[in-house]
Amino acid sequence: MTCGASEADGLRTRYGADGSFSLWSERFGEGFHGAIGARREARQKFVRPAGLEHWDTGSTLKVVDVGVGLGTNTAALLSAAIDRGLQLRWWGLEIDRRPLQRALAEPVFRRQWPAQTLELLEQLAATGHWRCGCGSGALLWGDARQRLPELLEQQRGQCDLVLLDAFSPQRCPELWSEDFLARLAALLAPRGRLLTYCSAAAVRQSLLQAGLELMAIAPPAGNGQAPTCWSLGTAASPSPLPGGDGVLRPLSAMEREHLATRAAEPYRDPSGAATAEEILSARCRAQASSTAGSTSAWRRRWGLERRSGGRAWQAA
Ligand SMILES: C[S@@+](CC[C@H](N)C(=O)[O-])C[C@H]1O[C@@H](n2cnc3c(N)ncnc32)[C@H](O)[C@@H]1O
């Protein structure tokens, strides 16, 4: 990953290992994508586990993109859906208009996508909507916690895919609280999928509490990872998800044990208006008085040296 000079807007240009364009947020102290690169990450962690091959040509999928950012996940999904003759009805949740504008002004980013996909992202940046023969979309600008209830009012139980790509839980706990995750879960159709790069125990535990079944997103075959290694993320659904195709797999023993440690203490934000600091310090206090197993003992048992859940480590 190469990183450019700091810009006045606090967003620094980065290029991933696949050469694709990304940004680093000074405010969140984190990259928008992992070291493997934005486009590869979008394909491995969101498009591949979306299971588009299970849909008949001409079907319409309802999709919610949480943390639209540069639009990489949406562009990758749109391109794959168009190739398969699928229609999308799409909603995006995003607080900051600048990442998409920055991406669209960048020749490397523009070269990443087919002309039709680029045209839809341009419509989105200019008007907050896109429309074409392959469907339509609307961006709900603002704090996702405030915009989600109106989407839920219209689309409860009807969405086929929710792509959750917020900054990591320690950097942006607002979008990983059990309250927010329960609302996202309520958007899902009975066979819908919530997909995220995150494998943090707190997030997985909250998804389970919201009544979803979990699978891990398996790394593509042949990338040399040991069997006990972390997954690429989490897929969650109201119905059991199919495994056995090398894309999704059941949680490993290591991952299941992780859910019984203090790391599984949820992020809480019942008002939907708490600051990151308030959410993090309330969780620290709850962990201090928790009777759950020690996370460091679990880490030692499995020979793990670094913390889980963060984007950089999973991507390394
Ligand atoms: C990791 S980046 C997303 C990258 C993006 N999915 C892509 O494909 O380029 C996280 C995004 O979440 C947005 N975000 C942070 N807090 C938010 C909030 N409270 N509501 C909505 N979006 C938020 C950030 O502005 C940022 O664009």
Tell whether ligand 1 has an atom less than 6 A from the beta carbon of residue 72. yes
Ligand 1 closest atom vs CA 23: 9
Has residue 163 been placed in a domain?
yes
Structural domain of 209: 37-304
Has residue 15 been placed in a domain?
no
* Placement of tokens 């535990």 in the chain: 205
CATH code assigned at 125 = 3.40.50.150
Contact 192, 159 (CB under 8 A): yes
Tell whether ligand 1 has an atom less than 6 A from the beta carbon of residue 21. no
pLDDT at site 221: 77
Tell whether ligand 1 has an atom less than 6 A from the beta carbon of residue 30. no
Average pLDDT, the chain: 92
Has residue 10 been placed in a domain?
no
Ligand 1 closest atom vs CA 70: 9
Ligand 1, atom 26: closest residue by C-alpha: 69
The pLDDT tens digits of the residues spanning 224-234 come to 555 546 799 99
Ligand 1 midpoint to CA 32 (Å): 8
| Full-model pTM | 0.94
Best mutation site among 32, 46, 97 for ligand 1, i.e. most ligand atoms within 8 A of its Cβ?
A: 32
Number of domains in the chain: 1
The pLDDT tens digits of the residues spanning 131-176 come to 999 999 999 999 999 999 999 999 999 999 999 999 999 999 999 9
| Among candidate residues 265, 311, 264, the one with its CA nearest the CA of residue 166 | 311
pLDDT at site 230: 74
For the cut 60, the answer to whether the pLDDT of residue 78 exceeds it is: yes
Has residue 7 been placed in a domain?
no
Contact 33, 41 (CB under 8 A): yes
What does the pLDDT average to over 53-71?
97
Residue 101's contacts (CB-CB under 8 Å, 6 or more residues apart) are 125
Ligand 1 closest atom vs CA 33: 1
Tell whether ligand 1 has an atom less than 6 A from the beta carbon of residue 70. yes
List b or e across 221-257, with b for residues whose CB sees 16 or more CB atoms inside 10 angstroms. eeeeeeeeebbbbbbbbbeebeeeeebbbebbebbee
Has residue 104 been placed in a domain?
yes
For the cut 60, the answer to whether the pLDDT of residue 6 exceeds it is: no
Q: List phi, psi (to 5°) of 304.
A: -100, 140
| Among candidate residues 202, 207, 215, the one with its CA nearest the CA of residue 183 | 207
**Length of the chain, in residues:** 316
* Placement of tokens 């048992």 in the chain: 301
Ligand 1, atom 19: closest residue by C-alpha: 143
Ligand 1, atom 27: closest residue by C-alpha: 69
Has residue 271 been placed in a domain?
yes
The model's confidence at residue 245, banded by pLDDT at 50, 70 and 90, is confident
Tell whether ligand 1 has an atom less than 6 A from the beta carbon of residue 144. yes
Neighbours of 65 (CB within 10 A): 24
Neighbours of 133 (CB within 10 A): 7
How many Å apart are CA 214 and CA 237, to the nearest integer?
Answer: 7
* Placement of tokens 């364009």 in the chain: 21
Tell whether ligand 1 has an atom less than 6 A from the beta carbon of residue 143. yes
pLDDT at site 192: 98
Has residue 13 been placed in a domain?
no
pLDDT at site 158: 98
Ligand 1 midpoint to CA 69 (Å): 5
Tell whether ligand 1 has an atom less than 6 A from the beta carbon of residue 248. no
For the cut 50, the answer to whether the pLDDT of residue 314 exceeds it is: no
Q: HSE of 269 in the Cβ direction (CA atoms, 13 Å)?
A: 26
Has residue 202 been placed in a domain?
yes
Neighbours of 30 (CB within 10 A): 17
